[in-house]
A and B are shown apart, each in its own frame.
Chain A
Amino acid sequence: MTLALVLVIAAALALVLILGVTVSTRPQLSPGSALAQRIEPIDIEAFRNLISPAENEYLRRRLPATEFRRVQRERLRAAAAYIRVAGRNAALLVAIGQAARSASDGATAEAAHELVDNGLLLRRNATIALLRIYLALAWPQSALAAAPIVHGYEQLSGRAMLLGRLQNPAVPVRISGNL
């Protein structure tokens, strides 16, 4: 009976989840600019500094072991916060790109396609990097390889700007300022 109850509850939760996801992922009717305004700015240099192996090595040499572990945990938490924002921004850019994929203008559609591809790549990398950071939080001395995130984010910023320029060459797109 307990097993039946567990499965019934699981099925009900799955139905609620599926219907919830279905409603929340209906075609985005909000204007692209509304999505673009939700993009949060990221200081990419500060992030680079946080994940720099040289900086880590310097701190390791200069600080006592316990202090280094504490500082390293703080740095990892800060890096995770940056990556979470980068992942959210990537999702917004993917949504903007999805809306522009069906544009009649071939160049815009192509730029949108690349934006979506790069956005998805960044979201994937951000997820993997976050997992690695949470692992590294358990073992602060382990090497943290989040460099692909930086590279991916830079590429994505470029694609977003290109898309904005192709959609309306005469005026700037706000999202570029945020990236």
Chain B
Amino acid sequence: MLQAHSFLWNYLWVAPNLLSVSLGCLIVRRGLNRQIPAFVAFLILAGLGDLALFGADIAPFVSARNYWVVAWAALLLEAVLKFFVIGEVLSKLLMPYSSVSRLGRNLVSGSGAILVLLAGLIAGFAHGDNPFRLISGFHLFEQTVFVVELGLIVFLFLFAAYFQLSWDRLSFGILLGLSISACEHLATWAVIANASPSEHTRTLFGFMGMATYHLCVLIWFYYVLVPQKVVTMSVLPLPENNLAVWNRELERLLQQ
């Protein structure tokens, strides 16, 4: 069951990507694509990229080298789109808060630059897990992308929590899905790129990665399809008092 190219393997490779493309189309049909164009592009293009990779994996006429070339292309496309999605979520988060908008953008840019340097440094320390640079480079690049991606996501969550910024439901769902995926993928790619695990362990990691991505796509479906609960905030249960006290408080404040 837990073997490469088993039914479960093929299902976990194909299903989340088909679901991802379907979700992208659903968002377009609902007219939400104007709100989250980068995420829609990510769902559709990254999904198609992974499906093309699956095709390259099972097609007998695709050589091993060409498979890795397709894998590189899909990875580069996915990485670029993911950073656009993070930028889009950042914009939507900061849009209603003009007082911290500039600070947020500057801090994200700064932390992004630091994360790129850090990820480069980590990649520099790695010894490579494969004699073929095309393959070991792919693993290291995966690790690098996830270090930067996860760092930016953690920063966004912390920034929003520190300033008590309220998330737009869709943006929150997008980032939650991306973060779960990034945590799992960073851990597995770090082991693959640095610890030279056995073939069986790699296969198990493959299952884990695909299952996690499946979960993330389902999370995104949930946030797109299930409407937000309307929370009715009651008016402040104010203590009994009168306007005279109000005025006294106001005067006291003005005299400070």
Within 8 A of B (CB), among A1-39: 1, 3-4, 7-8, 10-12, 14-15, 17-18, 21-22, 24-25, 27, 29, 31-33, 36
Complex Cα distance A91/B165, Å? 10
B6 within 8 A of A: no
CB neighbours of B231 from chain A (8 A) = 27, 29
Contact, CB under 8 Å: A33 / B187: no
Complex Cα distance A134/B246, Å? 38
B113 within 8 A of A: no
Most chain B CB neighbours (cut-off 10 Å) among A14, A17, A158, A169: A14
Q: Which of A102, A117, A171, A179 contacts B97 (CB 8 A)?
A: A117
Q: Which of A14, A95, A168 contacts B235 (CB 8 A)?
A: A168
**Contact flags B186-210 to A (C-beta < 8 A → 1, else 0):** 1100110111000000000000000
**Contact flags A32-49 to B (C-beta < 8 A → 1, else 0):** 110010000000110000
Complex Cα distance A7/B163, Å? 28
Contact, CB under 8 Å: A8 / B99: no
Interface size range on A against B: 35 or more
Q: Which of A21, A116, A124, A176 contacts B157 (CB 8 A)?
A: A21
Tell me the B residues contacting A by CB distance below 8 Å. Answer: 97-100, 103, 122, 125-126, 143, 147, 150, 153-154, 157-158, 160-167, 176, 179-180, 182-184, 186-187, 190-191, 193-195, 231, 233-243, 245-246, 249-250, 253, 256
A170 within 8 A of B: yes
17 more CB-based (< 8 A) A-B contacts, given A17-B158, A98-B166, A117-B99: A3-B125, A7-B187, A11-B150, A14-B150, A14-B154, A14-B186, A17-B157, A18-B176, A24-B161, A31-B237, A36-B236, A45-B256, A91-B164, A123-B100, A170-B242, A171-B246, A172-B243
Q: Which of A3, A15, A29 contacts B194 (CB 8 A)?
A: A3
Q: Which residue of B lies closest to A96 (CB)?
A: B236
Contact, CB under 8 Å: B190 / A168: no
CB neighbours of A165 from chain B (8 A) = 246
Most chain B CB neighbours (cut-off 10 Å) among A7, A21, A91: A7
Q: Which of B103, B150, B236 contacts A124 (CB 8 A)?
A: B103
Q: Which residue of A lies closest to B143 (CB)?
A: A7
Q: Which residue of B lies closest to A173 (CB)?
A: B238
Contact, CB under 8 Å: B237 / A33: yes
Contact, CB under 8 Å: B183 / A4: no
Contact, CB under 8 Å: B100 / A124: yes
CB neighbours of B122 from chain A (8 A) = 3, 7
Q: How far is the CB of B20 from chain A (nearest CB, A)?
A: 21
- Give how many A-B residue pairs fall within 8 Å (CB-CB): 154
CB neighbours of B256 from chain A (8 A) = 44-45, 154
> Given A98-B164, A121-B99, A161-B250, are A12 and B238 also a contact pair (CB < 8 Å)?
no
Contact, CB under 8 Å: B186 / A10: yes
Complex Cα distance A150/B183, Å? 42
A99 within 8 A of B: yes
Q: Which of A14, A18, A31, A123 contacts B234 (CB 8 A)?
A: A31
Contact, CB under 8 Å: B99 / A100: no
Contact, CB under 8 Å: B163 / A120: yes
CB neighbours of B183 from chain A (8 A) = 11-12, 14-15, 18
Complex Cα distance A99/B206, Å? 44
CB neighbours of B167 from chain A (8 A) = 25
CB neighbours of B234 from chain A (8 A) = 31-32
